[in-house]
């Protein structure tokens, strides 16, 4: 199974750790760690939250606004 990756083609900052929302999946996000981009997934039904988090950039579904991104 191939997975299409949409989002930042590279990390904008070569230093530090930065998380960016996946454009289609509210439970996934891009993580840049010192310039290396990875696709990450929230655990245990949590959703990506770029503003605050309870675990690894993710938060409870009631605390996250997913907009048009799927949240299942």
pLDDT digits (tens, 9 = 90+) for 61-72: 999 999 999 987
Q: How far apart are CA 48 and CA 69, in angstroms?
A: 10
CB 31 within 8 A of CB 19: yes
Kindly report, residue by residue over 31-42, the tens digit of the pLDDT.
999 999 999 999
19 DSSP β-pair partners? 31
Select from 39, 27, 31, 25 the least CA-distant residue to 11: 31
At residue 56 the predicted structure's pLDDT band, cuts being 50, 70 and 90, is confident
Phi and psi angles of residue 56, each rounded to the nearest 5 degrees, phi first = 50, 55
Q: Is the dihedral of CA 37, 54, 27, 3 positive or negative?
A: positive
């Amino acid at each position: 199974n191939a997975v299409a990756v949409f989002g930042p083609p590279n990390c904008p900052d070569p230093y530090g750790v930065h998380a960016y929302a996946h454009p289609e999946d509210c439970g996934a996000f891009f993580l840049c760690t010192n310039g290396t981009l990875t696709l990450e997934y929230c655990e245990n039904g949590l959703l990506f939250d770029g503003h605050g988090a309870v675990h690894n950039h993710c938060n409870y579904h009631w605390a996250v606004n997913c907009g048009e991104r799927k949240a299942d």
